[in-house]
Amino acid sequence: MDSGEERHGEGDYGDVVTMEAVRELQAGYTWADVASLESPAEGARVRVRGAAAAVRAVGRRVAFLVVRQGAATVQCVVAGGGGMARFAAGLSRESVVDVAGVVSRPREPVRGTTQQLVEIHVEKLHCLSRAVPNLPITVDDASRSEEDVARAKALVHVGQDKRLDYRVIDLRTAANQAIFRIQCQVENVFRQVLLSEGFVGIHTPKLIGGASEGGAAVFKLSYNGQPACLAQSPQLHKQMAICGGFGRVFEVGPVFRAEGSDTHRHLCEFTGLDAEMTLRDHYTELCDVVDKLFVAVFDHLNTACAAELEAIQRQYPFEPLKYSRTTLRLDYDQGIKMLQEAGVHVDAMGDLTTEAEKKLGELVRERYGTEFFMLCRYPSAVRPFYTMPCSDDPRYSCSFDVFVRGEEIISGAQRVHDPELLAAQATARGVDVGSIAAYVDAFRYGAPPHGGFGVGLERVVMLFCGLGNIRKTSLFPRDPKRLAP
């Protein structure tokens, strides 16, 4: 028996059931976060709790353990041989461990961990939660870029479906840790900018009587015996809040669409960022808000979230989004003209196909050097009946879409606030006015000119980071086939 065997007693390592027990076993050490382990002085006695991301035995005397907390990792050295090194070597990956030990500077920077200039010399090691030995997917495999997998055929490729089946493990990758921190920041900047512009945050009901505005793509249910459905958009209630005297409102909340087709950009449930506001002179006041809002979001991500963007880049390489200080606004007519000049066949008064939108995005990037722009004054015929026609030419409407990298990300418009015009436009489109009576009636008690817009949070993150599949930016996505986990 060597000195190492003696150095670690039985209470120094093992499986423990409760955090209260390990607190006693590791008394005298100070809690630390892996991400800030460079702060404690060399020689400090610290405790960290994290996942055993990697376990490697070197002979029978030493074991190296990489402990991960969020996206941060640190090397922990179990030296001196004996029971503790064997215990460490026997830990299944992803088990949750408490490591107590001394902060040390390694002779050479550690490779493969985020903490490269610091490691922990382990004095106590306890396992609070054993992971099953054969994980369905590993964090390492789930973290590889497609390029890495393509280069070395022996590497396991983890498909999108399998990732989502075992999302609890998949979320532990550095890229996923970054994606959802970025998503939180997008929402936060959205809220902060709108609050500073005098908007009030509201919550409108998701349970709606009857069959909602949208027809087919609606989830139906029974509400204590009454027919009900899930809101496909908060628009009606946002508008009612405006009629209720709140001059500017926004909402962040789930939006439900019973989509039938699987695409890279549609989900059956997503997080809507919605705003609605009274207008003074012109619907382009909406564009002014969108402009300020999204330039602030993009600026914030590029400055405050540089580390997160880098983490995403490592697994999913993308070009930084090109955008300008003041967002380019084109009229629909101008967009049509650009497409026609490029030889694309488009109907000047019809809607743009996804391909035409993509092409227009390319043309705009070439000519104006931006991948974020607004297309205004859509033909009335391709917008919903509640869209306000332009006062100078009713064939066009007070509406706009916003594009990022050639994909629509925001849709906005001034709404018809006059109940008679609203009813007339509904009738002209073949919408039964009786079925929308409650909506029309909301404007009979005095309604100011107003408009709004809606954005999908997942789509903002997907397009900003060029991720190519909206399932990557939804924590637990719901698509036509997937309802779990």
Range in contact with a copy of itself (rule: CB under 8 A) among 147-155, 221-229, 350-358, 460-468: 221-229
In this structure, how many other beta carbons lie within 10 angstroms of the beta carbon of residue 357?
18
Taking alpha carbons only, the member of 295, 292, 368 closest to residue 335 is 368
Q: Is there binding between residue 424 and a copy of itself (CB under 8 A)?
A: no
Identify whether 24 is a catalytic site residue: no
The answer to whether 234 and 255 are in contact (CB under 8 A) is yes
Which residue number, 101 or 449, has a Cβ lying nearer to a copy of itself?
A: 449
* Closest alpha carbon to 258 in 219, 307, 315: 219
Contact residues for 421 (Cβ-Cβ < 8 A; gap 6+):
none
Instruction: Please give the radius of gyration of the chain, using alpha carbons only, rounded to the nearest integer.
Output: 28
| CA distances (Å), origin 382, targets 133, 257, 264, 339, 395 | 56, 20, 23, 18, 10
How far from each other are the two terminal CA atoms of the chain, in whole angstroms?
50
Candidate list 25, 57, 62, 96; residue touching a copy of itself; CB under 8 A: 96
Give the x/- contact pattern for a copy of itself in 252-291, rule: CB under 8 A. Answer: xxx-x-x-x-------xx-x------xxxxx---------
Subset of residues 127 to 166 that bind a copy of itself, contact rule: CB under 8 A: 128-132, 135, 166
Q: Specify whether 130 is catalytic.
A: no
CB nearer to a copy of itself: pick between 299 and 420: 420
Options 102, 162, 358, 476; binder of a copy of itself; rule CB under 8 A: 476
- Which residue, among 182, 179, 181, 162, has the nearest Cα to 170 in the 3D structure? 162
Residue in 9, 90, 209, 369 binding a copy of itself, rule: CB under 8 A:
209
Q: Does 483 bind a copy of itself (CB under 8 A)?
A: yes
**Contact in structure between 87 and 125 (CB atoms under 8 Å):** yes
The rounded distance, in Å, linking the Cα atoms of 74 and 63 is 14
**Judged by CB under 8 A, which of 29, 46, 55, 68 binds a copy of itself?**
68
Contact 222, 228 (CB under 8 A): yes
Residues of span 323-382 touching a copy of itself by CB under 8 A: none
Residue in 55, 65, 125, 169 binding a copy of itself, rule: CB under 8 A:
169
Q: Is 265 a catalytic residue?
A: yes
Q: Among the options 121, 266, 282, 314, which is catalytic?
A: 266
- Asked about 181 being catalytic, the answer comes back as no
The distance of closest approach from Cβ of residue 140 to a copy of itself in the complex, given in angstroms and rounded to an integer, is: 14
**Interface pick for a copy of itself out of 243, 287, 330, 376 (rule CB under 8 A):** 243
For residue 68, indicate whether it is catalytic: no
Output the smallest distance, CB 95 to a copy of itself, in A. Answer: 5
Closer residue to a copy of itself (CB): 58 or 438: 438
Catalytic residue (one of 7, 265, 282, 365): 265
Nearest CA to 62 among 15, 111, 119? 119
Tokens 């402990």: give the residue: 67
- The closest alpha carbon to 118, from 38, 236, 214, belongs to 38
Q: Which of residues 23-62 bind a copy of itself (CB under 8 A)?
A: 23, 31, 49, 51-52
Whether 357 is catalytic? no
106: preceding bond cis by omega (within 30 degrees) = no
For residue 202, state whether it binds a copy of itself (rule: CB under 8 A).
Answer: yes
Examine the residue annotation and report whether 408 is marked as an active-site residue of this protein.
yes
Q: Is 437 in the site for a copy of itself (CB under 8 A)?
A: no
DSSP per-residue codes, 128-144? EEPPPSS-SS-HHHHH-
CA dist., res. 129 & res. 458, Å (int):
32
Q: Which residues are part of the catalytic machinery?
A: 257, 259, 265-266, 408, 411, 459
